[in-house]
Structure 1
Amino acid sequence: MAPSISIREHIRWLPDPASEPTTTLVLTSAENRFVDIRILKPTHSPSTESKREDVLPLSHLDWAFAGTSTSVPQRGEDGKAFAHSTWKHWVSSKTRDVDGVSDEGDMFPLPEGRVLEKGRMSNPATGVVTEYEELWFDPPFRVVEDGKGDGEGERGNCCVVLQLQDDEHEARGVVVRVGQYVQGVLRVGEGFSLERWEWKGKGKDEGWQRLVRMGDLWLPCGPAMDDGRLKEEGEVKYGEYLWKVVELSYF
Structure 2
Amino acid sequence: MVLSKRISIQWSSEQAGELTDTLVISTPKCFSTDVRIFKKHYPYEKGSDSDSDAMDKIFEFVSMGTEIDIEGTNQVQFPSEVNLQEIVQAIKTGKSVEECKAPPDIGTFWPIEGSEDRKETGSMVNPATGVCTDYVEVWRSLNPAETTPDEEVRENHWKNKKEDTEVGVYTYNAQEDNHRGRLIRLGNWVQAVFYAYTNGKHELSVLRAYYDESSGQWQYLIRYGPYDFPDLGTLFDKESIDFGGVSWTRVE
- Please give the TM-score of this superposition, normalised by the length of structure 1: 0.76
Unaligned runs of 5+ in 2: 88-96, 148-161
Instruction: Tell me the CA shift for residue 198 of structure 1.
Output: 1.2
Equivalent pair of 1:54/1:211 in contact (CA under 8 Å): no
Counterpart in the other structure of 1:25: 23
* Alignment RMSD (CA, Å): 3.0
C-alpha separation between the residues in 1 aligned to 2:102 and 2:52? Answer: 30
Write out aligned runs for 1:80-99 (5 A): 83-94=74-85, 95=87, 96-97=97-98
Q: 1:143 to 1:18 in 2, by over 3 A?
A: closer
Amino acid at match of 2:3: I
Counterpart in the other structure of 2:175: 165
Of residues 166, 176, 186 in structure 1, which corresponds to 2:184?
176
Q: 1:195 to 1:4 in 2, by over 3 A?
A: same
1:125 aligns with 2:128: yes
C-alpha separation between the residues in 2 aligned to 1:117 and 1:84? Answer: 9
Counterpart in the other structure of 2:249: 244
- 1:147-185 Cα distance to aligned partner (Å, 9 max, x none): xxxxxx997211110000011xx1100011111210001
C-alpha separation between the residues in 2 aligned to 1:219 and 1:123? Answer: 30
Counterpart in the other structure of 1:138: 141
Identity of aligned residues (%): 25
Counterpart in the other structure of 1:113: 116
Unaligned runs of 5+ in 1: 76-82, 145-152
Counterpart in the other structure of 2:105: 103
Counterpart in the other structure of 2:212: 200
For residue 157 of structure 1, give the secondary structure of its aligned residue in structure 2.
coil
C-alpha separation between the residues in 1 aligned to 2:61 and 2:52? Answer: 14
- 1:176-216 Cα distance to aligned partner (Å, 9 max, x none): 111121000101101110010112342xx653200111112
C-alpha separation between the residues in 1 aligned to 2:46 and 2:230? Answer: 23
Equivalent pair of 2:218/2:232 in contact (CA under 8 Å): no
For residue 232 of structure 2, give the secondary structure of its aligned residue in structure 1.
helix
Of residues 188, 195, 219 in structure 1, which corresponds to 2:196?
188
Q: 1:219 to 1:50 in 2, by over 3 A?
A: closer
For residue 135 of structure 1, give the secondary structure of its aligned residue in structure 2.
strand
For residue 138 of structure 1, give the secondary structure of its aligned residue in structure 2.
strand
Instruction: Tell me the CA shift for residue 121 of structure 1.
Output: 1.6
C-alpha separation between the residues in 2 aligned to 1:53 and 1:175? Answer: 26
Equivalent pair of 2:109/2:118 in contact (CA under 8 Å): yes
Amino acid at match of 1:240: G
C-alpha separation between the residues in 2 aligned to 1:200 and 1:4? Answer: 19
Instruction: Tell me the CA shift for residue 72 of structure 1.
Output: 2.6
Of the structure 1 ranges 18-27 and 190-199, higher mean CA displacement relative to structure 2 is found in: 190-199
Q: 1:191 to 1:133 in 2, by over 3 A?
A: same
Instruction: Tell me the CA shift for residue 50 of structure 1.
Output: 7.7
For residue 144 of structure 2, give the secondary structure of its aligned residue in structure 1.
coil
Counterpart in the other structure of 2:68: 70
C-alpha separation between the residues in 2 aligned to 1:192 and 1:51? Answer: 15
Structure (1/2) with the larger strand percentage: 1
Amino acid at match of 2:134: E
